[in-house]
Chains A and B, each alone.
Chain A
Amino acid sequence: AQTVTQSQPEMSVQEAETVTLSCTYDTSESDYYLFWYKQPPSRQMILVIRQEAYKQQNATENRFSVNFQKAAKSFSLKISDSQLGDAAMYFCAYRSGSLSGGSNYKLTFGKGTLLTVNP
Chain B
Amino acid sequence: DSGVTQTPKHLITATGQRVTLRCSPRSGDLSVYWYQQSLDQGLQFLIQYYNGEERAKGNILERFSAQQFPDLHSELNLSSLELGDSALYFCASSVGVGSPETQYFGPGTRLLVL
Interface residues of A (CB under 8 A from B): 31, 33, 35, 37, 42-47, 50, 52, 91, 95, 97, 99, 102-112
Contact = CB atoms under 8 A, between A and B. Distances in A.
B107 A107 contact: no
12 contacts: A42-B107, A44-B107, A46-B105, A47-B104, A95-B103, A106-B45, A107-B43, A107-B92, A107-B103, A109-B43, A109-B44, A110-B42
B56 A50 contact: no
B8 interface: no
Mostly helix, strand, loop or mixed at chain B's interface?
A: strand
Contact of B35 (A44, A47, A99, A107): A107
A52 B48 contact: no
Contacts of B20: none
A106 B98 CA distance: 12
Contacts of B112: none
A95 B57 contact: no
Interface in B1-32: 2, 31
Contacts of A109: 42-44
Contact of A91 (B43, B92, B98): B43
B102 interface: yes
